Amino acid sequence: MSAPSVRRAGDRVFVAGVALLILWVLLPIWLLFVNALSAPAEVTAFPKRFIPSFDLASLSFFFGFSGVLDALWNSVRVAAVTMILSIGVGAPAGYALSRFDFPGKEAFRFLVVMTRAFPLPLLALPLAVMFIRTGLDDTILGLALVHTTLALPFAVLITYSLFSGIPLELEEAAWTLGCNRVQAFIKVILPLAAPGIAASAVFAFVISWNEVFAAAVLTVENRTLTAFLLQSLDVSPLPLKFAGGAALVLPALFFIFAVRKYLFAMWGIANR
Amino acid sequence: MAVIEIKQVAKSFGSFTALHSVDMTIADQEFMVLLGASGCGKTTLLRIIAGLETPTTGEVWIGGRRVDHLPPRERGIAMVFQNYAVFPHLTVFENIAFGLRMKKMDQAEVTRRVTRTAELMHIGQLLKRYSGELSGGQRQRVAVARALAMEPDVILMDEPLSNLDALLRLEMRAELKGVLAESKTTTIYVTHDQVEAMSLADRISVMNGGRIVQAANPVEVYRNPAARFVGSFIGNPPMNFLTAAPAGVGKWQVAGQVFDGPAAAAAEFAIRPEDLHPAEHGLPAEVRVVEPLGPHTLITASVAGQPFRAILESNLLPSPGDILHLAPVPDRIRWFDPDTQSAL
Amino acid sequence: MPRLLPYLLLLPATAFLCLFFLFPFVQVAHDSVMRNGAYTLENFTRMAGHWKFSTAFWNTMLLAAVVVPIQLAMALTMASIVTKLQRGRSTILYIFAIPLGISDLAAGLVWLAIFEQSGFLNSLLVGLGVIDQPILLLGYQNTWIIFIAIVLAEVWRATAIMMVILVAGMGLIPKEYREAADVFGASRWQKFRRVTLPMLRPSLQTALILRVILAFEVFAVVVALGGTQLPVLMSETYHWQFAMQERGVAAAFAMVILGVSVAFTILILRLLHVPKGARV
């Protein structure tokens, strides 16, 4: 075989590999949506069709099921509080890390990075007791606090990388042009960092939206969607499970799309 | 209207001392250049004057007002940064207007000043653009215009031309000199480029190891270096230095030749490469490398085993290995104390 | 004031992490050795004595041992592909990254749709004539199929996070190094093996630590696909905390998970240590 044809064969293998990987990622999602968009009778029927009938009965059964709408609303609220808390607490820390050198900086970074070596959902166990004592048990805020612990290290590292990417000179220029620290931050740093901060907020939202273990441990009455689905797994009929799965997955598709530009910037620095 | 006074300003970062007790006065409307190699403390000193760095000890006075505890915005200064620091999220117009808006100036005055400084810097047609749509040279112009629009008492410039390519640098240098002279502000300009320093400065402060070694007008700094460092740093190629042995009071023997010199215990002989000419009697130089440069020829040689350079007329083309006798121009010979390194 | 500013900015985050990260872990450690108000190791002996413990422990280890290497290989492949791509790069990246946003529970449900008795795998097998009747794939007779389903779901769901870290890491390696290797006559494989891989070490470190710890935390996927038929450490922890109301034993389980997590973190840090001067 001549050299160009070897290369062409190699290219074909490459393209086939890429196609296979894309199929590997997308096909299972497709199948879940086939189930979610078929009537309950079709979901339990055999054999399955690989194309949905676009019957909304499964979905309306799911959304009409007692407790589902509440759980969905709880999930949104917990995720929203998590998002606000983790950015509100994490962004100042990220800014401090990016702009100052001070004794204790390394200790703080170590604390943040250390959270990675620990299975964080387990925190829910001792916190369950602490929350009962403080009246935070089974509340939106209580769960959001645990989810913030999961999201905070990311928020700190992501905002740290964002702020580090904005030259200090821009801030200094603003100071020499009549700004104090706060004005310079609002007029120069914030507009430049805003898209990235929004992306890391979305990321925090996703972390909370998807979390299962702590949510299941910490909520009883006010279950989030994941906790609700988990605790009814062995009793609920298949159409309910698949519609619930689809309800979990669909927002994720949009979230990841929204933050796609920042995924790599986030993880690139989060390495260090 | 601003005289700048630096009084015993020192700065250390941990155990590293960036500045050792610097004293300096810059006259109103003077163009002062801080010149030195990287790490000599020149940028630190500029940043202390700007208020971006706090001195460990010492005082900074601007226009008769002590400012070392004031934030940058209250010092009446404007600054041009090495990387221009043109705000990427604002148009050129809003960049130049930024400081004026902070002063809550009315819109008509803002527009007037922005247009005027933009015209002055030849960027009038770029006012609606964003930083990402500008070339390096254009960004540089925006940065300068932004500083000038403030009509500050003092303009501080931190290596403003170092990121431009050679041709553009030459052009901007001349332009800056004209614009700044016009604006009647006091200017402090940091650079590591000696040609830039010579061409722009009313006065040059040569810095080394956190100290000001010499502060004088460019010709003085070139002709009469106050210290061996200044001679070896300024000039391309730099000054030649040769050891000298005492040969009687006020007489020194250098490479077999006897010269009149200072009455001192020890001395080092120094001469600039262009202050030499071939003669029958002179310093015997064994030629190593010959570089014809057009207007003249650069000779790298060795005199009594020490490295030595000479700039000669271009019609003179010796070969490596030749022995040239090079006579120094008598009144251009300088002497340095080998212990203190200062001029004798 | 300026000297205090950084501490002021760090204060909320530090306080938060102390209150909701450090303190609870001390608490859980304390709970694990406390029973009826006295210090004791009984929680651990009860845990270890339970017939499901060693199954759960080895299931967790085996899952991690199978899943992580597959994910590493796939993530490296995907990252290399993405790095090489010129056209369609961002679209393919987005598609590869989608599972990053999908929860483990949803992933479990996705694969349940494939593996359940009236699911797509059975439909396919019957359609192809491999079997006549749909079979119960996720039954207690076939725990190995449950295991495979869990492996597939985990690989499907959590490879993306490694891929993203590795793509970011590859982006940090200047392409001049690979070009230099080209000039010196390295083949494609040699370039990958001798240039890319060693320089990727810091990213590999992060990716592996993150992934291995997540693998020990495997929970919802297992419950969704296997119910209680394939116990793992997290599901047992949950079981003891809720069904048995034995917080001490649940804490002991937590300490085991914590112990293996920290041990593996240290191991990976050691194995993939990069001397300071040798970083990109």
pLDDT digits (tens, 9 = 90+) for C207-244: 888 889 889 988 888 988 888 888 999 999 888 887 88
At residue A53, the pLDDT reads: 78
Q: Is residue B241 a contact partner of residue B228, using CB atoms and an 8 Å limit?
A: yes
At residue A272, the pLDDT reads: 42
- Cβ contacts of B88 on chain A, cutoff 8 Å: 170, 192
The edge-to-edge listing of strands for the beta sheet with B296-303 is B306-313, B296-303, B276-292, B323-328
Mean predicted confidence (pLDDT) in B204-223:
93
Q: Which of C1, C33, C110, C199 to mutate to test the interface with A (most CBs of A within 10 A)?
A: C110
Nearest CA in chain A to B78: A176
Name residue B284's beta-bridge partners: B325
> Tens digit of pLDDT for each residue in B75-125?
989 999 998 899 999 999 999 999 999 999 999 999 999 999 999 999 999
Q: Does the pLDDT of residue B182 top 80, yes or no?
A: yes
At residue A239, the pLDDT reads: 85
Match 């010269």 to its residue by tokens: B259
At residue A2, the pLDDT reads: 54
Cβ–Cβ contact C13 with A under 8 A: yes
At residue A1, the pLDDT reads: 46
Full 3-state SS string of B188-209: EEEECCHHHHHHHCCEEEEEEC
Angle at Cα B252 formed by Cα B246 and Cα B257, nearest 5°? 125
Verify whether the Cβ–Cβ distance A179 to B103 is below 8 Å.
no
Of A88, A92, A122, the CB nearest to C254: A122
Match 């499970």 to its residue by tokens: A241
- Report how far residue A145's alpha carbon sits from residue A163's, in angstroms, rounded to the nearest whole number: 25
Of B72, B83, B150, the CB nearest to A175: B72
Q: Measured between CA atoms, how close is C9 to chain A, in angstroms?
A: 5
The subunits that touch chain B, with at least 3 C-beta pairs less than 8 Å apart, are A
- Local mean pLDDT, 10-residue blocks, chain A (272 residues): 65 87 92 86 76 81 84 94 95 92 87 79 84 88 92 88 89 92 92 89 90 88 89 82 89 84 63 44
At residue A91, the pLDDT reads: 94
Burial bucket for residue C234 (CB in 10 Å: 0-12, 13-18, 19+): buried
pTM of the model: 0.83
Match 């002055």 to its residue by tokens: B120
Task: Report the complex ipTM.
Answer: 0.84
DSSP secondary structure string for all residues of C111-125:
HHHHHSTTSHHHHHH
Stretch (H or E) spanning B4: strand B4-13
Verify whether the Cβ–Cβ distance A178 to B103 is below 8 Å.
yes
- Report how far residue A249's alpha carbon sits from residue A247's, in angstroms, rounded to the nearest whole number: 6
Verify whether the Cβ–Cβ distance B73 to A169 is below 8 Å.
no
Mean predicted confidence (pLDDT) in B259-285:
90
At residue A87, the pLDDT reads: 95
Which residues of chain C, if any, have pLDDT below 50? 1
Q: Could you give the percent of chain C with pLDDT greater than 90?
A: 22
Q: Which of C4, C20, C43, C274 to mutate to test the interface with A (most CBs of A within 10 A)?
A: C20
The subunits that touch chain A, with at least 3 C-beta pairs less than 8 Å apart, are B, C
Q: Could you give the percent of chain B with pLDDT greater than 90?
A: 64
Beta strands in chain C, from DSSP E residues, in sequence order = 34-35, 38-39
Nearest CA in chain B to A178: B73
